[in-house]
Amino acid sequence: MTLPVSKPSPEFSGNHSVTVNGFAVHYRLAGRGEPLLVLLHGSFLSMRSWRLVFDELAKTSSVIAFDRPAFGHTSRPFSSKATGVSYTPEAQSDLVITMIRQLGFSRAVLVGNSTGGTLALLTALRYPEQVAGVVLVDAMIYSGYATSEVPSFMKPAMKAMTPLFSGLMKFLIARLYNKVIRAMWYNKERLAEEVLNAFRRDQMQGDWARAFWEVFLETHHLKLDEQLFTMRKPALVITGEHDVMVKKEESIRLAGELPQAQLVVVPDCGHLPHEEQPEAFLIALKDFLKRVPS
Rg value, the chain, Cα: 18
What pLDDT was estimated at residue 5? 47
What pLDDT was estimated at residue 10? 53
What pLDDT was estimated at residue 4? 47
What pLDDT was estimated at residue 112? 98
Helices (H), 38-192: 54-57, 89-102, 115-126, 155-160, 162-183
What pLDDT was estimated at residue 182? 98
β-strand pairing of 23-30 with 16-20: antiparallel
Give 23's contacts (C-beta < 8 A, 6+ positions apart). 69, 74, 75, 77, 85, 95
Tell me yes or no: is domain 16-289 CATH 3.40.50.1820.
yes
The structural domains of the chain, with segments of one domain joined by +, span: 16-289
Contact 18, 27 (CB under 8 A): yes
pTM, 2 dp = 0.94
CA dihedral 18, 22, 26, 30 (to 10 degrees): -40
Look over the chain and give the mean of its residue pLDDT values, rounded to a whole number. Answer: 93
- Those residues of the chain that have pLDDT short of 70 are 1-14
Which own/partner pairs from 101-104 qualify as long-range (CB within 8 Å, at least 24 positions apart)?
101/130, 102/18, 102/20, 103/18, 103/29, 103/64
